[in-house]
Amino acid sequence: MKPENVLINSDGYIKITDFGLSKENISDNSSAKSFCGTPEYLAPEIVENKGHGQAVDWWSLGSILFEMLTGMPPFYNNDREKLFKSIKAIKIKYPKYLSKEAVDLLQKFFVKDPEKRLGSGENGLNDVKSHPFFAAIDWDSILAKKIKPPFLPKLKNNTDVRYIDKEFTSQPAKDSIGTGDSFGQDEDNYGGFSYDPNKNSDKDNENNNI
Kindly tell me the burial class for residue 35, based on how many C-beta atoms sit within 10 Å of its own C-beta (0-12, 13-18, 19 or more): middle
State the Cα angle at 87 between 164 and 130, rounded to 5°.
70
C-alpha neighbours within 13 Å on the C-beta side of residue 86: 17
In terms of average pLDDT, the best of 76-80, 122-126, 186-190 is 122-126
Query: Residue 166 corresponds to which amino acid?
Result: K
* 15-29: pLDDT as tens digits: 988 766 666 666 655
- Structural domains of the chain, with CATH: 3-154 (1.10.510.10)
What is residue 129's predicted lDDT score, i.e. its pLDDT? 96
| Model confidence, pTM | 0.72
Mean pLDDT of 97-125: 94
With a cut of 50, say whether residue 182 has pLDDT above it: no
* 67-93: pLDDT as tens digits: 999 999 998 888 888 998 989 988 899
* 38-67: pLDDT as tens digits: 778 888 887 777 866 678 889 999 999 999
Mean pLDDT of 93-104: 96
With a cut of 50, say whether residue 209 has pLDDT above it: no
The residues, ordered by sequence, that sit 6+ positions from 33 with a Cβ below 8 Å of its Cβ are 49, 51, 52
Percent of the chain residues topping a pLDDT of 70:
72
Mean pLDDT of 1-9: 86
Higher pLDDT, 31 or 153: 153
Kindly tell me the burial class for residue 195, based on how many C-beta atoms sit within 10 Å of its own C-beta (0-12, 13-18, 19 or more): middle
CB 30 within 8 A of CB 50: yes
Per-chain mean pLDDT for the chain: 80
